Amino acid sequence: MSANEKSIVIKGGTVINRDGSVIADVLVIGGVIAEVGENLNGDLVLGATGCFVSSGFVDLHTHLREPGKEEAETILTGSHAAAKGGYTAVVAMPNTDPSQDSVAVVQFVRERGRISGFCDVEPSGCITIGRHGQQLVPFADLAAQGVRIFTDDGRGVQDENVMRAALEISGLIGITLAQHCEVESRTDGAVMHEGECCSAMGVPGWPSIAEEEMLRRDIELVRQTGAPMHFLHLSTQGSVDLVRSAKAEGLAVTAEVTPHHLALIDELLSGFDSVFKVNPPLRRPSDIEALKQGLIDGTIDAVATDHAPHAPHTKEQPLDEAPPGMLGLETALAVVNTALSLDPRRIVEVMSWNPARIAGIADRHGRPIAVGEPAHLAVWDTTTVWQVSKNNLASKSKNTPYHGMEVRGRVRHTLFGGKVVVEEGKLIS
Amino acid sequence: MKHLLSTVDLSTQDIVEMLETADHMAEINSRPQPKVPALRGKTIASVFFEDSTRTRLSFETSAKRLSAEVLTFIASSSSVNKGESLRDTVETLTAMGVDAFVIRHKSSGTALQITQWTDAAVINAGDGWHQHPTQALLDAFTITRSFGEKSTMQGRTIAIVGDIKHSRVARSNIDVFTRLGAKVIVVAPDSLLPHPMEQWPVEVCGHIDDVVAKVDVLYMLRMQRERMGTASIPDVAQYNKQFALTPERAELMAPHALLMHPGPMNRGVEMQVDPSDVPGSRILQQVTNGIAVRMAVLFSILGNGSSAVLQGGQA
């Protein structure tokens, strides 16, 4: 009998499905859910009393850094971090080196993810070659490799004509474009949110309007082309308002927010600590409130980590030279759950069901907990209080902004394809 | 006091005491042989990642007058050109046995940042657009002493003219001047003001003509040439029309009013008047006072706390 055929039972948890929650045991055999019911037995028993059992989380926004920056993260170490965070699928952002603008690189990333075996690694594609914002990538060739989401993340596509051309093609071949909204002429050298704190610190500011202007432009392009579009890491109150009215109009737009934009404010940078430098930047409490409201009322569809590992020596540079980005995979659930009180069903919606749909992988992820479904599962609670330590992370880098912070809610077990990859919070290799 | 990173770290009382210590230092500097053994045996690393004439020489002179050893580090002729990081540079100098770093860097926050990599004291000699605390102290010294005061600028109005946004001098001086009781007016085009600045304790004015006749101190900032012809200053001629100090404007200054500039001056740009023609000019006095104030800072941080040593004979 192979390991896959060993039966696993997740015992005593609250199973969350779209049509309701029920306390039940979940039996997994051969990578699929064999039974959901009471008093089930298996070769391996995973305790889930007091926990929720849901489809595994799906991250729309993960920087795995391979190929090119293996000093910061590899697909293997990033997959470890994902599994510890309850993720069974991650969308790998394309700003690698070389960037994910060709079939060869996309195949490489997917294959490395498969070999790693801790979660599905779904490569995104660039919108433009080298993310230079000029020449479109061969969308159809990449789509044939299973790429469903395309973005120049880290940069927004500045040229409106290029973006419009990309949307016309994407609408035809059924892929989704995702925009990093940033008008670069307004953010030259920007270090943090343009506000009083930035003004006193004497660093270049990243004004909210730089995000909102591109968002407004792209909503207009969606209106004109009818192609769907996803907006990455919303960070401002104005952005939430723009997406809300676009949705009210019936436009095919979706949006995500990161845990850190729900939890952290710009003043954390007042000590010039680059661990808090991120793009888009941490903003004001009023922005946080608007983002929370957007996540609650459905304006924002998904929580996405923007997990961005950086090697210590790069973050140790002066604030203006240090690269933006922070770790997110292993703390996402806890940070979101600590920042705001979401109904557990809404947590699953924004961390699994919706991102699976936006990523175009809803045939495999974000599935019901039902007989015959693939066993990509997360077992987690919203009550355990723990202290984040940069020294206890599976990621190869240590740039977590939550080091030393107490958070509430933890991932207890993760099953990927019926294999236990995390048990009692520990990686199972 | 372990470090001097920002004026914000100093209480108003600290500032007043520092200026009093600087009075002692000015007395030492007036002696035929201006040197005391106050910091004998101490080593100060002067670490400049950005070009400087007066600040570096001022600190080094101050250190020598207190009998400290000085290590001079100039980034442009160092291993920084081989890619050595800031951390490695600081740790390397620390390993040589340094009691204090005097650091100048183009990036805001670096003085604070390096405190995590060394046990030595750190003195900020200018970090990016952020802070230049010894400049603020020497300017406060110059202003108070010019007006015969010891501890206050109460009732004085000071206009700071020029590129406020990119100026560490403005950020430090506004903090110190206002806490000593002065009213500060910043005079600049909108593109050279930080945004937002609702929380800055200043008035904003768009034209030098509106302030020149009514201020006690006219403080001109250097127009950074590299910003000209950019979005910040699209039209240099227009800027000069509104913000340069011309001989005609200098004529309008009150008889008691002071003219100051942190240097280096751009003659023919913001300084269209020859300062030697302005009776209230304190620009060279600022440089002289800089030595006394920096001696006071070094002594406050590295000295043994007793000012008796300052009364001693030659080193």
Which chain B residues in 46-65 lie under 8 Å from chain A, judged by CB atoms? none
At A213 the pLDDT is 98
At B307 the pLDDT is 65
For residue A53, pLDDT over 80 is answered with: yes
B130 to A202: CB separation less than 8 angstroms, yes or no: yes
Ranges of beta strands (E only) in B8-134 are 43-48, 69-74, 100-105, 121-127
Q: Is B75 on the interface with A (CB under 8 A)?
A: no
Q: For residue A335, which phi and psi values (nearest 5 degrees)?
A: -70, -45
Q: pLDDT truncated to tens, each residue of chain B (315 aa)?
A: 899 999 999 999 999 999 999 999 999 999 999 999 999 999 999 999 988 889 999 999 999 999 999 999 888 777 777 788 999 999 999 999 999 999 999 999 999 999 999 999 999 999 999 999 999 999 999 999 999 999 999 999 999 999 999 999 999 999 999 999 999 999 999 999 999 999 999 999 999 999 999 999 999 999 877 666 676 776 778 888 899 999 999 999 999 999 999 999 999 889 999 999 999 999 999 999 999 999 999 999 999 766 666 665 544
Which chain B residues in 118-147 lie under 8 Å from chain A, judged by CB atoms? 128-131
User: Both B64 and B125 in a single domain?
Assistant: yes
User: Both B127 and B138 in a single domain?
Assistant: no
Q: Is A183 on the interface with B (CB under 8 A)?
A: no
Q: What is the mean pLDDT of residues A372-382?
A: 98
Residue B175 located in a structural domain: yes
Residue B73 located in a structural domain: yes
pLDDT band at residue A1 using 50, 70 and 90 as cut-offs: very low
A272 to B112: CB separation less than 8 angstroms, yes or no: yes
Residue B225 located in a structural domain: yes
Q: Is A184 on the interface with B (CB under 8 A)?
A: no
* Residue in A with minimal Cα distance to B132: A202
Q: What is the mean pLDDT of residues A274-291?
A: 98
Q: What is the mean pLDDT of residues A282-300?
A: 98
User: Both B267 and B293 in a single domain?
Assistant: no
Interface predicted TM-score (ipTM) = 0.94
For residue A413, pLDDT over 90 is answered with: yes
**Helices B133-146/B168-179 angle, 10° precision:** 50
Q: What is the mean pLDDT of residues A235-242?
A: 98
User: Both B20 and B125 in a single domain?
Assistant: yes
Q: Among B9, B106, B108, B230, pick the best mutation site for testing chain A contact (most A Cβ within 10 A).
A: B108
Q: Which domains does chain A have, with CATH numbers?
A: 3-52+372-427 (2.30.40.10), 56-358 (3.20.20.140)
Residue B155 located in a structural domain: yes
Q: Is A210 on the interface with B (CB under 8 A)?
A: no
Residue B107 located in a structural domain: yes
User: Both B215 and B140 in a single domain?
Assistant: yes
User: Both B212 and B253 in a single domain?
Assistant: yes
**Residue B45: count of CB within 10 angstroms of its CB:** 24
At B84 the pLDDT is 87
Residue B40 CA to residue A234 CA, distance in Å, equals: 57
User: Both B145 and B248 in a single domain?
Assistant: yes
At B232 the pLDDT is 72
Residue B1 located in a structural domain: no
User: Both B146 and B242 in a single domain?
Assistant: yes
Which residues, at least 6 apart from B76, have a Cβ–Cβ distance to it below 8 Å?
none
Residue A387 CA to residue A402 CA, distance in Å, equals: 9
Of A206-210, A264-268, A420-424, B74-78, the one with minimum mean pLDDT is: B74-78
At B311 the pLDDT is 64
User: Both B148 and B52 in a single domain?
Assistant: no
A203 to B86: CB separation less than 8 angstroms, yes or no: no
Residue B58 located in a structural domain: yes
pLDDT band at residue A5 using 50, 70 and 90 as cut-offs: confident
- The total domain count for chain B is 2
User: Both B145 and B62 in a single domain?
Assistant: no
At B53 the pLDDT is 82
* Residue in A with minimal Cα distance to B109: A272
B198 to A271: CB separation less than 8 angstroms, yes or no: no
User: Both B89 and B138 in a single domain?
Assistant: no
Give me the CATH number covering residue B116.
3.40.50.1370
Residues of A in contact with B108 (CB under 8 A): 201-203, 272, 318-320
Q: For residue A214, which phi and psi values (nearest 5 degrees)?
A: -70, -35
B108 to A319: CB separation less than 8 angstroms, yes or no: yes
Residues of B in contact with A205 (CB under 8 A): 195
* Nearest Cα to Cα of residue B145 among B264, B258, B265: B258
By CB atoms closer than 10 A (0-12, 13-18, 19+), residue B265 is: middle
Q: Which domain range does residue B253 map to?
A: 133-282
Residue B2 located in a structural domain: no
At B272 the pLDDT is 95
User: Both B86 and B198 in a single domain?
Assistant: no
Would you say A233 and A252 are in contact if contact means Cβ atoms under 8 Å apart?
no
